């Protein structure tokens, strides 16, 4: 009688297609979830905002600690296999933040065009219950902010401050000024929350 094999079937390894490693912490993530950096012919490290620049790329988590670690350990030179100019951390952070802010503006504009953005005091008061995310301008009056936040929390609607003022928010919504907007689309709300979380992590310097 044949002896039964004791060898266990191998479990398939998880696919790493489309995954990239952070040059600082070495964590793997989909390329869209990381910052892509490139090196120009002069050795300057630049942010590839659209993930389309040719040549070798280096990837970083959206985390200021990873950026500081990569600079301090000279990880970019090793990643690009060439000499790089000294990295201006503040300029690099500003470039990353500019990309995030552009995507936030796009998300709000898309929500408006798809009728998934509620703005104006009366509209928000009536429709806040079906909003997935409440966004407040950075120059909203504190009394107005407190009133909207209380209402949102009572309805279990998450809320966040935007890195833009009432004039810019109004322009995105096709209005003269707006101090708040509610996003009713779940996907758009999740995208905006992700970008705001990324922004928070990249602008805060690591403790020394």
Q: What is the pLDDT of residues 138-184, one digit of tens each?
A: 999 999 999 999 999 999 999 999 999 999 999 999 999 999 999 99
Q: Which of 122, 112, 84 is nearest to 170 (CA)?
A: 112
The pLDDT-based confidence of 204 (bands split at 50, 70, 90) is: confident
- State which fold the 19-87 domain adopts: Hypothetical Cytosolic Protein; Chain: A; (3.30.1230)
To the question of domain 94-203 being in CATH 3.30.1330.30, the answer is yes
Q: What is the pLDDT of residue 44?
A: 95
pLDDT in tens, 53-97: 988 899 999 999 999 999 999 999 999 999 999 999 999 999 999
The pLDDT of residue 171 is 97
Q: With beta carbons less than 8 A apart as the criterion, state whether 48 and 22 touch.
A: no
Q: How confident is the model at residue 208 (pLDDT cuts 50, 70, 90)?
A: very low
What is the rounded average pLDDT for all residues in the chain?
A: 91
Q: Which residues pair with 45 in a beta bridge?
A: 39
pLDDT beyond 70 at 205: no
Domain ranges of the chain: 19-87, 94-203
């Amino acid at each position: 009688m044949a002896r039964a094999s004791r060898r266990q079937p191998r479990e398939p390894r998880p696919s790493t297609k489309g995954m990239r490693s952070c040059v600082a912490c070495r964590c793997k993530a989909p390329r869209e979830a990381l910052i892509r950096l490139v090196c120009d012919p002069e050795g300057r490290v630049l942010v590839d905002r659209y993930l389309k620049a040719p040549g070798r790329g280096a990837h970083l988590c959206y985390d200021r600690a990873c950026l500081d670690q990569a600079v301090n350990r000279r990880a970019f030179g090793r990643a690009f296999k060439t000499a790089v100019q000294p990295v201006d951390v503040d300029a690099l952070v500003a470039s990353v933040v500019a990309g995030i802010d552009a995507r936030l503006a796009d998300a709000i504009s898309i929500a408006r065009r798809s009728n998934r953005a509620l703005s104006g005091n009366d509209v928000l008061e009536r429709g806040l219950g079906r909003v997935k995310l409440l966004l407040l301008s950075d120059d909203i009056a504190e009394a107005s902010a407190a009133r909207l936040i209380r209402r949102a929390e009572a309805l279990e609607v998450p809320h966040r401050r935007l890195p833009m003022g009432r004039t810019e928010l109004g322009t995105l919504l096709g209005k003269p000024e707006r101090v708040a907007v509610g996003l009713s689309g779940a996907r758009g709300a999740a995208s905006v929350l992700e970008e705001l979380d990324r922004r928070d992590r990249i602008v805060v310097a690591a403790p020394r």
